[in-house]
Amino acid sequence: MLKGIPPIISPELLKILCEMGHSDRIVIADGNFPAESMGKNCKVVRCDGHGANELLDAILTLFPLDTYVSHPVSLMQVMPGDTVETPIWDEYKATIKKYDERGAATVQEIERFEFYEQAKQAYAIIATGEKALYANVMLQKGVI
């Protein structure tokens, strides 16, 4: 056990967060995201049973968002014609505001297939048990 580390952060995830450098990206993926196929060239961490926002909150206690880019947080845009609501995005923005004074201004939406392409280049993908649709979020690491 370590002091100050949220208990939801596994040793494997802590190691990955530590290894990441400035501008590396990590995806917190919902339960429908194809984490294993998208993560063939990166590290995939299983966090089944945990929600995406609780992991976001825990990660942001340790992880600075990049201040050298306008939008260090990316969400997967809802596909045109989909009538899905995304209330989890408001939860994400509230969580981000706790750790970064820019708050919702850090967030951008990326078209679904472009999100997939960027996810393939991420340092790591965290596969969660999140049931909300379009709950995928990508973070770009900053400096301390």
Sole residue written with tokens 């966090």: 47
Closest CA to 133 of 77, 89, 86: 86
* Residue 51 φ/ψ, nearest 5 degrees: -85, 155
Compute the distance between CA of residue 131 and CA of residue 128 in angstroms, rounded to an integer: 9
Give me the catalytic one of 15, 22, 98, 131: 22
The answer to whether the CB of 112 falls within 8 A of the CB of 74 is no
Indicate the pairing of strand 25-29 with strand 107-110.
unpaired
Beta bridge partner(s), residue 126: 28, 45
Using N-to-C axis directions, what is the helix angle for 87-99 and 52-60, rounded to 10°? 10
71 assigned to active site: no
Helix or strand holding residue 74 (H, E): strand 73-76
- Catalytic positions are 22
